[in-house]
């Protein structure tokens, strides 16, 4: 009788990691991160403008936040600061 639990080694080693990384293969430019932050401020969060790939490192996170804040009228970096 099945217990509903997946066997410990149900997937070959590395298959899950490879599947997860396949979705993150495209590293966005800093300009794309800035534009996504602006879009989030204008239209609200979505799967596109808040996707995990936009926060792949501190530089991308900082630029995304600058884009969001620039649209919200908060004092921070302007569009010219984005690469």
Residue 83 belongs to a domain = no
Q: In Å, how far are 14, 18, 65, 66, 78 from 23, measured between CA atoms? A: 15, 9, 23, 25, 30
pLDDT of residue 73: 80
pLDDT of residue 72: 84
13, pLDDT greater than 80: no
- In the chain, the number of structural domains is 1
Residue 16 belongs to a domain = no
If we measure between CA atoms, which residue out of 81, 82, 75, 78 comes closest to residue 54?
Answer: 82
Residue 15 belongs to a domain = no
Range of the domain at 68: 27-75
pLDDT of residue 22: 59
At 26-78, the pLDDT tens digits run: 789 999 999 999 999 999 999 999 998 899 899 999 999 999 999 888 654 44
Q: How far apart are CA 40 and CA 62, in angstroms?
A: 14
Average pLDDT over residues 14-29: 64
83, pLDDT greater than 60: no
């Amino acid at each position: 009788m099945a217990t509903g639990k997946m066997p410990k080694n149900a997937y070959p080693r590395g298959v899950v990691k490879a599947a997860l990384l396949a979705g993150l293969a495209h590293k966005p430019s800093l300009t794309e991160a800035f534009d996504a932050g602006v879009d989030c401020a204008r239209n609200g969060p979505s799967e596109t403008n808040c996707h995990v790939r936009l926060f792949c490192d501190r530089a991308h996170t900082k630029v995304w936040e600058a884009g969001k804040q620039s649209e919200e009228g908060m004092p921070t970096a302007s569009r010219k600061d984005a690469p």
